[in-house]
Amino acid sequence: MNFLSDTTAPAHPALIDAIAAANRDFAPSYGADPLTAKVEARLKAIFETDLKLVFAVSGTASNSLALSVLCPPHGAILCHDEAHIHRDERGAPEFFTGGGKLIPLKGDHAKIDLDELDRALGEIPEGFVHTSPVRALSLSNLSESGTAYAPGEVAERAGRLKGRPAFVHMDGARFANALVTLGCSPAELTWKAGIDTLCFGATKNGALGAEAVILFPSVMDRFEELQIRQKRAGHMAPKMRFMAAQFDAWLSDDLWLALAGTANARARALANGFASKEGAEVLHPVDGNEIFVRLSEPRAAQLREAGAQFYQWPDGSARFVTSWCTTETEISDALAAL
Amino acid sequence: MNFLSDTTAPAHPALIDAIAAANRDFAPSYGADPLTAKVEARLKAIFETDLKLVFAVSGTASNSLALSVLCPPHGAILCHDEAHIHRDERGAPEFFTGGGKLIPLKGDHAKIDLDELDRALGEIPEGFVHTSPVRALSLSNLSESGTAYAPGEVAERAGRLKGRPAFVHMDGARFANALVTLGCSPAELTWKAGIDTLCFGATKNGALGAEAVILFPSVMDRFEELQIRQKRAGHMAPKMRFMAAQFDAWLSDDLWLALAGTANARARALANGFASKEGAEVLHPVDGNEIFVRLSEPRAAQLREAGAQFYQWPDGSARFVTSWCTTETEISDALAAL
Amino acid sequence: MNFLSDTTAPAHPALIDAIAAANRDFAPSYGADPLTAKVEARLKAIFETDLKLVFAVSGTASNSLALSVLCPPHGAILCHDEAHIHRDERGAPEFFTGGGKLIPLKGDHAKIDLDELDRALGEIPEGFVHTSPVRALSLSNLSESGTAYAPGEVAERAGRLKGRPAFVHMDGARFANALVTLGCSPAELTWKAGIDTLCFGATKNGALGAEAVILFPSVMDRFEELQIRQKRAGHMAPKMRFMAAQFDAWLSDDLWLALAGTANARARALANGFASKEGAEVLHPVDGNEIFVRLSEPRAAQLREAGAQFYQWPDGSARFVTSWCTTETEISDALAAL
Amino acid sequence: MNFLSDTTAPAHPALIDAIAAANRDFAPSYGADPLTAKVEARLKAIFETDLKLVFAVSGTASNSLALSVLCPPHGAILCHDEAHIHRDERGAPEFFTGGGKLIPLKGDHAKIDLDELDRALGEIPEGFVHTSPVRALSLSNLSESGTAYAPGEVAERAGRLKGRPAFVHMDGARFANALVTLGCSPAELTWKAGIDTLCFGATKNGALGAEAVILFPSVMDRFEELQIRQKRAGHMAPKMRFMAAQFDAWLSDDLWLALAGTANARARALANGFASKEGAEVLHPVDGNEIFVRLSEPRAAQLREAGAQFYQWPDGSARFVTSWCTTETEISDALAAL
């Protein structure tokens, strides 16, 4: 009953098989291999558009690489106050952008409030030499509270940047989980809603370690710079085929959606169980594979005694994360403990 | 007959098996897993000393991470003019150090000349606010010309920094190849010769993608900062166990030495073959798995027709790189073409 | 009737005389001149402590230089959401610190609220590799709303950092104005209240362009690094004696206090005048030489017609800044217009 | 007999008078004042072209600001191995460019050798992701050895960058001295010879502290970014009029040329005197106000006893710098001592 994080889960065996299969012969280094090309083709089909991509070994890396081609050192990035890029990446976006400024915004359930966004945009002028202008907006989908922005919510926020030389980034470390819940297409949740670049995470959903920075057509002219920055940051792995192999298997036969679907279903079941118990208040909509629940001391103790592992969150709640390999038994065992 | 680069070679199957084995269950993220601890123990035994380490996905990353804890933004790093950190990493050391200055030195066969080192040290004062003082010396072993520094040569150069608050870094992307040729112990080639930090590369010698930054006792107090910088640069991979698994298998039963031994033997055989042919002048001592040879046009054509792939080097020579999986037949076929 | 900014005012003639006097002969460059030493001695007497200092040509430079020796690239700086370092310096603190993170806090009248400070400190752990820890707190005195922190208010906030390896910076672009109103000693408002470094501004109070970064004993061990960073940022002016000359004259015979006293008195008179008029609501305590007033349209028009110049502030208020050379007549003329 | 540096000399009194005159009234801040506009107009006339400029307080600042709008973090700057930007600015160009790489080239008398330049350009490919491409060439005129590049020499070197997206910077800390000796027009020595940006120094030639970064038409589209970087680096002084006043007086009635002419004449006289003495070998052509001379011990002692102050240079020579206020008597006294 490990609900600590989806990064503690093993990888899906199909991805390891794919790595073994990719190991048969020599292959060009640094992303010039055929598997990388195959993944690019798969992603174009899935997202129904032209696009460019690079791989990275962590979400921190992919977010920062993406932001570094959107925001100059003297620009600002709007994000939610609880965003991973602001709270959990040790200043990586500042490092990669060369000192770009993150401006944190409030909003319930870790989704940026529209009024807050309007207020911030109203306060930050364009073309005033003393002030860092807004060059990017970052939306996390799933958010840090496990909630999803629907396509309309994304479009509403992205639309607020109209008329500024600014771009919209989506931190999609758990993009698959959001997508499955929302039931929309990948295109609808991204470029059709105004997203310029997506950090598409596989690691938390069955990969060994593989993230993709996807540039949609609106920012594809920055691909060369993205590659340069990937190299310069040490993220252009020599044997890139092994990251490509993971993505190839993961995207094959909708495996990625199936894995996210399982994780989401487990989270939903656990949340439903909590909802029927006293002393276990679910704090946010459960739109993916994360549940934040305010547990009474006895409830928390019952769960721990039953062997459930979970993190205490800074706001006092308990965080439960399910993964592609969380079993129905684990959920029922956890709930039985209450 | 792919002699393009050891990064185009496949990984050794034992490492893929190890990854599969490491995938059985949940494991702590970010390097807190038992396999990482096991690798640390193995390395302590191999290097006969206490040490600390972090993993990274590329040599560019490991070199830059190491240098960033040795050299402040306002310091300088001495290296050979042809060093990978100066020529082939797109300014990554400058990026990671926050603008540290690389000062390139000359020397035959890509090894830093002692007189050049003395001259540079003589020109750069300590404690003068206008000048970036020397804070690190970087030695590549194997060098960019495929030559090795013997322990005495390392010690001689490292000793020149005595009395300065400066440290010595070894770029060991092909450390195993150098070691096997030199026949000394890992300790003798590193900390006993004055090396403070080693970037120990496995990727070019049988791994899928795994490098270790090793801090020897003289700089172990910088481990916390190294971890911080690893995180901040996006190199703290969530599922670190899969890098650890590679190193664990690679270090097991001296596999790493056996693989390097094979690559070196193939290179030696190829170099010997070249030496007996007209129109094929080997330019540097072959101390590892790289051969730089000045080929006459007809010789180059013969090799290409026989299916040999190799890079034309900026100095006009042809570079041949062997790997753990280069076969004796490939060598004899190549030589037969001449 | 120029109330736009104290940076549009001329310098006090005594400072220009001092520059002329300092020009008589050759003098050592880069701060090794006798006038710089004399200013250091003056400041030690004024602040009743040992200290170290460097000069800079702007408040943006002095703030960023100070912060860059307190906060590493991977640390965080707490400041008010409206602080000059966060809103008006084009990301200079991020630039000078190498990507340090500014975390904005709320509080009435541009003074950091204690509960907000406690909340932020509670949310940001020490020793967690993923999160930028607090390494500095910055207080602006005067604040961006023209209000002053009294010594007790400074001490209360500074005390909250106890037990962390963190320091307290005071942006004293209008330090003299705050000091004169508070009636305390320079020592009481700074190091005795827990301030580690003060950016002591003369430019807005009669200088041509001279700011001093003062390190109090708690951080004097960082002086060498401060000089290095001053040089590296191009702020070690060759003929430093001309900045020293300004400070020397400004500090002589309490001129700096007299100038601030005049500016404050004019602001007080203007604020009192506003207070007695309808349609002119003063929004913050007037603790120095800045007044923020919500003007009705007719009131604003009356003032403009009478020749008063002032800025419209982002919050909708009008800002009036008085200076050492604002006359009583200007104040009475402005008020007469209403 | 102070021959230490032209930065130890006083300012010309006309510049102090100009500062006093500029102090009469209120003036817009941050460069929006009429004097700054007047200087821009003067410079357009002097350089016979449209241009843009910002001021800075030091040569280190102006060089780094200029380079930072030419070279991205992942680019390289070619310069002479002894260039001030490489040896004497504590890594400021790396800081301002965000980690750009300086590549030092050899050449006699501190002027870049054409063959060296060709070799370097030949070794550094365009469009190869692993290598920092050349984005700028920096020429110092006067060079670090006090020699001048004639317009043809500038053009020859600048022309080598044709076909690359690269620009040419001139470090003109002693531009006036070079110009006077060469007898050409400012335009001929700069944009007509392929210079894109000139750091035009007044400080060493009679100013209190004023340098101008001039963008010629080929890079004028970078002016907004230059202003942003000037602000972000703390070099947008609030009361900019006082820098403008210095330049205005200095450029008026060819004062700048007269001052440089005097300094050059004194240097020439001193060099001629040295040339006729044994034990005093002048090492480089004296094209401006600097003389590098290899002095025998007795010669050095004679000069020191006579009261001459000069620096011992790293190459073992003695450096003598004359200034606008060096007198004929000082020269004859110095020579009389030999």
The per-residue DSSP string of C73-104 comes to TT-EEEEETT-HHHHSSTTHHHHHHTS-EEEE
Distance CA B324, CA B10 (A): 9
The continuous run of DSSP H or E covering B251 comes out as helix B241-251
State in Å, rounded, how far the first CA of chain C is from the last one.
14
For chain A, which chains pass the contact test of at least 3 CB pairs under 8 Å?
Answer: B, C, D
Helix axes A241-251, A34-47, angle to 10 degrees: 40
Over residues C86-109, the mean pLDDT reads 98
Q: What is the dihedral of CA A288, A294, A298, A304, to 10 degrees?
A: 40
Distance CA C97, CA C63 (A): 11
Over residues B259-283, the mean pLDDT reads 97
pLDDT-derived band at D279 (thresholds 50, 70, 90) equals very high
* ipTM higher than threshold 0.90: yes
Tokens 């150098």 sit at which residue? B178
Mapping DSSP to helix (H, G, I), strand (E, B) and coil, where does residue D81 land? coil
Please state, rounded to an integer, the average pLDDT across all residues of chain C: 97
Q: Which fold has domain B13-254?
A: Aspartate Aminotransferase; domain 2 (3.40.640)
Q: How do residues A242-278 score in pLDDT, each as one tens digit?
A: 999 999 999 999 999 999 999 999 999 999 999 999 9
Mutate to test the interface with D, among C102, C211, C239 (most CBs of D within 10 A): C239
The answer to whether the beta carbons of residues C78 and C117 sit under 8 Å apart is yes
Q: For D227, which residue in chain A has the nearest alpha carbon?
A: A129
Region label for C194, one of left (φ > 0), alpha (ψ between -120 and 50) or beta (otherwise): left
Q: For B316, which residue in chain D has the nearest alpha carbon?
A: D123
Chain C residues whose C-beta sits inside 8 Å of any chain A C-beta: 73-76, 87-91, 94-95, 98-104, 122-123, 129-132, 314
pLDDT-derived band at D315 (thresholds 50, 70, 90) equals confident
Cross-chain residue pair D92–C234, CB shorter than 8 Å = yes
Residues 6 or more apart whose Cβ sits within 8 Å of residue D167: D70, D135, D136, D137, D161, D196, D197, D218, D219
pLDDT, residue C182, reads 98
Residues 6 or more apart whose Cβ sits within 8 Å of residue D91: B73, B74, B75, B76, B99, B100, B101, B132, C232
Cross-chain residue pair C239–D19, CB shorter than 8 Å = no
Residues of D whose CB is below 8 A from B95: 73, 98-99
pLDDT, residue B200, reads 98
Q: How do residues D238-275 score in pLDDT, each as one tens digit?
A: 999 999 999 999 999 999 999 999 999 999 999 999 99
φ, ψ for residue D100 (rounded to 5)? Answer: -60, 155
Tell me the percentage of chain A whose pLDDT exceeds 90. 98
Cross-chain residue pair C90–D231, CB shorter than 8 Å = yes
**B149: its two tokens:** 């520094």
Distance from CA of D37 to the nearest CA of C (A): 16
Of D20, D61, D96, the CB nearest to C16: D20
Cross-chain residue pair C104–A104, CB shorter than 8 Å = yes
pLDDT, residue B13, reads 98
Count of CB atoms situated within 10 Å of the CB of B45: 11
pLDDT-derived band at D60 (thresholds 50, 70, 90) equals very high
Cross-chain residue pair C132–A73, CB shorter than 8 Å = no
**A281: its two tokens:** 């208040």
Q: What is the pTM of this model?
A: 0.97
Cross-chain residue pair D234–C62, CB shorter than 8 Å = yes
Mapping DSSP to helix (H, G, I), strand (E, B) and coil, where does residue C28 land? coil
pLDDT, residue C314, reads 82
Distance CA A87, CA A71 (A): 19
**D104: its two tokens:** 């030092």
Q: What is the dihedral of CA B107, B111, B115, B119, to 10 degrees?
A: 80
Beta bridge partners of B293: B282, B318
For chain D, which chains pass the contact test of at least 3 CB pairs under 8 Å?
Answer: A, B, C
Residue in A254, A15, A271, A22 with CA at minimum distance from that of residue A147: A271
Residue in D232, D81, D9 with CA at minimum distance from that of residue A130: D232
For chain B, which chains pass the contact test of at least 3 CB pairs under 8 Å?
Answer: A, C, D
Cross-chain residue pair C100–A123, CB shorter than 8 Å = no
Q: How do residues B293-303 score in pLDDT, each as one tens digit?
A: 999 999 999 99
Cross-chain residue pair C91–A130, CB shorter than 8 Å = no
**D151: its two tokens:** 């317009």
Over residues B191-212, the mean pLDDT reads 98
Residue in A91, A57, A92, A94 with CA at minimum distance from that of residue B58: A57
Cis peptide bond prior to B142, omega within 30° of 0: yes
Helix axes C114-123, C151-159, angle to 10 degrees: 20
Q: How do residues C138-180 score in pLDDT, each as one tens digit?
A: 999 999 999 999 999 999 999 999 999 999 999 999 999 999 9
Q: For A233, which residue in chain D has the nearest alpha carbon?
A: D74
Distance CA A169, CA A215 (A): 10
Q: What is the DSSP string of B287-310?
A: -SSEEEEEE-HHHHHHHHHTT-B-
Residue B218, classified by CB atoms within 10 Å of its CB into exposed (0-12), middle (13-18) or buried (19+), is middle
The architecture that CATH gives domain A255-336 is: Alpha-Beta Complex (3.90)
Cross-chain residue pair C130–A90, CB shorter than 8 Å = yes
pLDDT, residue C315, reads 86
Over residues D155-162, the mean pLDDT reads 97
For chain C, which chains pass the contact test of at least 3 CB pairs under 8 Å?
Answer: A, B, D
Of A73, A86, A87, the CB nearest to C91: A73
Domain ranges for chain A: 13-254, 255-336
Mutate to test the interface with C, among B129, B224, B227, B230 (most CBs of C within 10 A): B129
Cross-chain residue pair A30–D74, CB shorter than 8 Å = no
**Intrachain domains B13-254 and B255-336 with the same fold:** no
pLDDT-derived band at C124 (thresholds 50, 70, 90) equals very high
Over residues C74-88, the mean pLDDT reads 98
**A328: its two tokens:** 């129905």
pLDDT, residue B314, reads 82
What residue type is B281 in one-letter code? E
Residue in B284, B269, B274, B266 with CA at minimum distance from that of residue B145: B284
The per-residue b/e assignment along D284-299, b for 16 or more CB within 10 angstroms, e otherwise, is: bebbbbbbbbbbeeeb
Under DSSP, the state recorded for C309 is B
Cross-chain residue pair B90–D129, CB shorter than 8 Å = yes
Mapping DSSP to helix (H, G, I), strand (E, B) and coil, where does residue A203 land? helix
Strand order from edge to edge, sheet including D290-295: D280-282, D290-295, D318-321, D311-312
The answer to whether the beta carbons of residues C63 and C89 sit under 8 Å apart is yes
Cross-chain residue pair A94–C101, CB shorter than 8 Å = yes
Residues of C whose CB is below 8 A from D235: 57-58, 61, 234-235
The DSSP bridge pattern shows strands D76-80 and D101-105 to be: parallel
Mapping DSSP to helix (H, G, I), strand (E, B) and coil, where does residue B173 land? coil
Tell me the percentage of chain C whose pLDDT exceeds 90. 98
Cross-chain residue pair D73–B91, CB shorter than 8 Å = yes
Size of interface B-C (CB pairs under 8 A): 25
pLDDT, residue C123, reads 93
Of B73, B74, B231, the CB nearest to C130: B231
pLDDT-derived band at A205 (thresholds 50, 70, 90) equals very high
Q: How do residues A288-305 score in pLDDT, each as one tens digit?
A: 999 999 999 999 999 999
Q: H-type helices in B114-173, by residue range? A: 114-123, 151-159
The answer to whether the beta carbons of residues B205 and B256 sit under 8 Å apart is yes
